[in-house]
Structure 1
Amino acid sequence: MSELMTPTLAGAAAGLGVAMPMGAMSVLLLQEAMRDRRTAVAAAAGIAAVDLGYAALATALGPWVASHISPVEAWVRLASAVILLVIAARGLAGAASPAPAPAPAPAPAPTPASAPASASAPAAAAPAARPAKAFARYVGLTALNPTTALYFAALTTAQGAALGTGPAGAAFLLGVGAASLLWQQALVTLGSLAGTRVPAGARVWTFRLGYGLVAAYALKIAFPLPTLG
């Protein structure tokens, strides 16, 4: 069990690294939580599902790629580290001037007391279908972000040997999925309590912490550095 703790923690760090920076999807999730918590919970699950899906695809292909490039494995690790450092640098640079939080969504108009029961019935039934639609919508929106795919591809290719066994790969994915889902659900809780009124400074620090994890991961996989000759 102890040998699986390392890939699990590595996966958790990777999941937080991609999930914590509060970008456009986080703001949308906060807005969703203001309108309806159940819908936001489904939306958060959709975001985490894409993170897990990209991680699973990269984990499946990473060891195969790594096994075919063993003569230049150190250089591949260095290239992957450079990609991650570029992602981190771009994210940290953007954290200096975060976009202002959008205005809260207007509250729905109250239903007139005189409305017939048959007219209000569809409105009452509509929320039941919203979580599934929100899940699909957020899966599609998150999947369009190529940075997530590139992030996990760089990570898993650089650690192909460590993730080569089934249990280690599964433990890594467990860490990724759990960390991403817990963070997204924490945003849902925050959104339902405080709406989008998240201080700009707090958003900046989520960028710094999230991309700081990415940078730390990059340095971890870069060493030992390749040698010439």
Structure 2
Amino acid sequence: MPVGAVATYLVSLTARTSLRIGASAALGVATADGLYALAAALGGTVLAAALQPVMLPLSRVSALVLAALAVHGAIGAVRRYRERRLAERTGQDPPRPGRAYLALLGITLLNPTTVVYFAALVLGSRTAEAVRPLEQGVFVLAAFAASASWQLLIAGGGALLGRTLTGHRGRLVTGLVSSGVIMLLAVRVLVSSS
């Protein structure tokens, strides 16, 4: 499984908050993957053709969202470092699990490469005969289960990272590094869409 901007943000979010919030966010990512798998299973060919004209705007929106997350994360890391707060409470309350779920669901749904990936999987597995609904259902459930297990593993890693790096400088460094990685991935999305 690739580790991209969404996974990096998930690790950073979980490290800053809690495993409960990270797990909720991870399930948001898995839900988006499941929805894309369902859309690809039901209309892979039609969906890929329909998305082609809007791929560039979707890529640009995705890059802007990633850049905003990177800037927000870096500013928050610097602010917390300057305020010298070690507690989980910063200037604002951490997101509730429901909000974390919806935020990562939305971020993942903005990723245009995800739907193309699932459409390619479905198209590549089709034979001369039509795929039966049972096979489509198994594909969707398997995609959701695989994504959920991977995202929960990433959130668990973020929780361990958060417990390990509890000092002022450790939180600053991890916040800035994760924001830097997210910004690089945003630039990569923008460059690849041009």
Aligned to 1:87: 65
2:165 is matched with which residue? 190
Q: CA deviation at 1:56?
A: 2.4
Please give the per-residue CA displacement for 1:150-179, whole angstroms capped at 9, x wherever unaligned: 111123434331565344554333332212
- Give the corresponding residue for 2:107: 151
Tell me if structure 2 keeps the 8 A contact 1:52–1:176: yes
1:177 matched to which residue of 2?
Answer: 152
Structure 2 alignment gaps of length 5 or more: 88-92, 123-138
Of 26, 29, 37, the match for 1:63: 37
Secondary structure at the aligned position of 2:152 is classed as: helix
2:187 is aligned with 1:208: no
TM-superposed CA distance for 1:54, in Å, is 0.7
Looking at structure 1, the residues matched to 75 and 5 of structure 2 have their Cα atoms a distance apart, in angstroms, of 24
The 1-side partners of 2:73 and 2:116 are apart by: 27
Equivalence map 1:48-127=2 (5 Å)? 48-66=22-40, 67=43, 69-94=47-72, 97-98=75-76, 99-101=78-80, 102-104=83-85
Specify whether residues 175 and 73 from structure 1 end up closer, same or farther in structure 2 by C-alpha distance, changes over 3 A only: same
Q: Secondary structure at the match of 1:159?
A: helix
Give distance in 1, aligned partners of 2:38 and 2:54. 13
Gaps of 5+ in 1: 1-8, 30-42, 107-136
Q: Quote the offset at 1:206 in angstroms.
A: 2.0
RMSD, aligned α-carbons: 3.6
Q: 1:107-154, CA deviations, whole angstroms, 9 ceiling, x for partnerless residues?
A: xxxxxxxxxxxxxxxxxxxxxxxxxxxxxx97x614324542211112
Is the 8 Å Cα contact of residues 7 and 154 (structure 2) preserved in structure 1?
A: yes
Write the distance in 1 (CA, Å) between the matches of 2:152 and 2:118: 19
1:219 CA displacement: 6.0
Cα drift, residue 74 of structure 1: 1.9
Distance of 2:161 and 2:56 partners within structure 1? 34
Percent identity of paired positions between Structure 1 and Structure 2: 14
Q: 1:171 to 1:215 in 2, by over 3 A?
A: farther
Q: Distance in 2 between matches of 1:182 and 1:69?
A: 34
TM-score by length of 2: 0.61
Greater radius of gyration (CA): 1
